Amino acid sequence: MRRALVFAAFVLTFGAAAVRAQNLVANPHFSTGSVSPWNGFGLVFDSTRDATGDGVGSGQSTIGYNQGSYGVYQPCIGGISAGEQFSFGGKILYPAASSGSSAGYRVQWFSGPNCDTFLSDAGTTRPDAGTSPIGSWMALSETATAPPGAQSLLFVGDIFNAQAPPFKVNYDDIFLYPVCTRNATTGCLVGGRFQVTVDYTSQNSGSGAAQVMQFNGQRAEDDESVFWWFFSPTNFEMGLKILNGCPVNQHFWVFISGLTNQGWTVHIKDTQTGTIASTSNPIGRLTPTIAATVSPLTCP
């Protein structure tokens, strides 16, 4: 019974703490009723197709035969530094089948501050419009690292038409977020998608940021789990694991356990959606083993 109560409290706290972080994309849901500040090839506002559920619409691009272009693109984003990682993507919809035609999302890196002097690019998969579901929204996502010399980026929705009839693509729910960067107090799990930090509180030793442990000089972290210390680098306090449960129930699964009765608060930021979720343990209670297979960290 005790474990069931702890699990329920954990899920409730997580849900209450969920907020949204800043998306670097302007007008990502086309909720202004227009495509501004987007530009693109044959780009118009489509009020009949909406992925967000806000009842407004999406952006639609049309392109002719054997043409490739920017279906949609944002104004240049400056202030980029080499080594920065970003998670990006969005949803696309094909109104009609077109074998060999495709669309996706892409970031392009530039060495100049105003998207001049192209360096390289990286993109999501591009589903074939001849074999993909027609009239259904498809979610696409990818991560990319700014190359040496990068100072700016252009965020693009690609489109290519392999058939004679004009090819149409709808875009919606578009995102560009900085990806987690590991340091002494930050864990980065599931391909860097989830940024994890822990704050601790003690009656006798004050409070602070938990540190990621090291074993034999190696950081105690892999792609799914991370371990923390509070007061001494040789004294394990707690561990956290995140598993991809998307194929099972469209949630990421969070597991927490520890060997401490100190107070702590875990913060998990989903860098892809911007959701931030937190849960806490009070001073004086031995850290319970928690398994949250239904968390606010949802897929894709």
pLDDT of 202 reads: 93
Tens-place pLDDT, residues 256-286:
999 999 999 999 988 877 788 899 999 999 9
Give me the residue spans of the domains in the chain. 2-21+180-292, 44-178
Q: How confident is the model at residue 14 (pLDDT cuts 50, 70, 90)?
A: low
Tens-place pLDDT, residues 210-260:
999 999 889 999 999 999 999 999 999 999 999 999 999 999 999 999 999
Tens-place pLDDT, residues 99-153:
999 999 999 999 999 999 999 999 998 999 999 999 999 999 988 889 999 999 9
| pTM of the model as a whole | 0.65
pLDDT of 21 reads: 54
pLDDT of 116 reads: 93
Rounded Cα distance, 173 and 50, in Å? 9
Has residue 155 got a pLDDT over 70?
Answer: yes
Domain 44-178 has what CATH class? mainly beta
